[in-house]
């Protein structure tokens, strides 16, 4: 009986370790963490993209924990314009431009004085972006997800807590385009955001995290000072390669334990 209990305990520990990778060493807190969010919304039964939906209550718990633990909230502009930032600096980023960023996330940002960078698609309405990556993702789930209006974006920008980043005109899969089309997506996307909202746009996020050397050069030529990827991790030298910045992925399936460990190591456990 004791042997069975010990075996079960060992299996439980193995599963726990595999899921949370608690044993990974902490990355020095001198290195800022860039967090990647998409939606702040309740999960939908049977939905394909619930990993992109961080529940509103969980999002507030995460931001409150960061505040209580002494994390310093910064924007991407702060990150790239200041070589010396406080220890435990965190940058919250949102990709795409979902309406819940205003309805659910923005009140939390205001409550805790947390800054964020919004990577906004210009032509974000009535598009199923997921099909641009994989044709079989044809559920229309993301197409029907409400998107931010320009007035909602303006209100967030006026608060001083939110800044804009570029995310192309249409959330295009850049790998499927020639250089001329890629340049139009990146450059015109930036120009239209700046014209519409009257604010500088100095950072870019590659749609789907898909990019190559050509896209890096286009971002630099377009005038962006940085670009973020979906590669998981913490940047130890953000200035040496500013167009390939890693981010800490925040999943809608994360517990608070997973979130805390992610802030410590920058990575998920083995179980995805």
pLDDT in tens, 31-80: 999 999 999 999 999 899 999 999 999 999 999 999 999 999 999 999 99
pTM, two decimal places: 0.90
What share of the chain in percent tops pLDDT 90?
82
Query: Any alpha helices (H) in 113-211, and if so which ranges?
Result: 130-133, 150-158, 179-183, 189-197
Provide mean pLDDT across the span 143-161.
97
Asked whether the predicted pLDDT for residue 191 surpasses 50, the reply is: yes
- According to CATH, the topology of domain 25-265 is TIM Barrel (3.20.20)
Gap between the Cα atoms of 202 and 219, Å rounded: 10
- Burial (CB < 10 A; 0-12, 13-18, 19+), residue 53, is buried
For residue 243, give every residue at least 6 positions away whose Cβ sits within 8 Å of its Cβ, in sequence order, or none. Answer: 204, 216, 219, 220, 224, 226, 227
Q: How far is CA 202 from the centre of its chain?
A: 16
Q: Judge whether 262 and 250 are in contact, CB under 8 Å.
A: yes
pLDDT at 140: 84
- Burial (CB < 10 A; 0-12, 13-18, 19+), residue 11, is exposed
pLDDT at 10: 46
List pLDDT tens digits, range 221-266.
999 999 999 999 999 999 999 999 999 999 999 999 999 999 999 9
């Amino acid at each position: 009986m004791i042997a069975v209990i010990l075996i079960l305990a060992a299996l439980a520990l193995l599963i726990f370790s595999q899921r949370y990778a608690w044993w990974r060493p902490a990355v020095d807190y001198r290195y800022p963490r860039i967090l990647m969010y998409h939606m702040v919304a309740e999960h939908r039964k049977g939905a394909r993209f619930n990993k992109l939906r961080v529940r509103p209550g969980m999002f507030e718990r995460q931001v409150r924990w960061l505040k209580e633990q002494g994390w310093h909230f910064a924007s991407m502009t702060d990150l790239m314009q200041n070589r010396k930032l406080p220890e435990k600096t965190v940058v919250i980023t949102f990709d795409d431009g979902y309406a819940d960023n205003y309805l659910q996330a923005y009140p939390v940002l205001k409550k805790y004085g947390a800054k964020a960078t919004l990577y906004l698609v210009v032509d974000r309405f009535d598009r199923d972006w997921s099909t641009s990556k994989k044709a079989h993702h044809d559920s229309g789930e993301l197409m029907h997800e409400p998107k931010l209006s320009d007035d909602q974006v303006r209100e967030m920008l006026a608060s001083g807590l939110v800044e804009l980043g570029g995310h192309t005109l249409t959330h295009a899969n850049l790998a499927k385009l020639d250089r001329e089309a890629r340049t139009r997506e990146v450059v015109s996307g930036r120009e239209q955001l700046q014209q519409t909202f009257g604010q500088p746009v100095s950072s870019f996020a590659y749609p789907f995290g898909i990019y190559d050397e050509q896209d890096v050069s286009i971002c630099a030529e377009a005038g962006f000072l940085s670009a973020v990827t979906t590669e998981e991790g913490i940047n130890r030298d953000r200035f040496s390669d500013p167009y390939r910045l890693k981010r800490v992925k925040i999943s809608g399936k994360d517990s608070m334990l997973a979130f805390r460990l992610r802030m410590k190591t920058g990575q998920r456990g083995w179980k995805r």
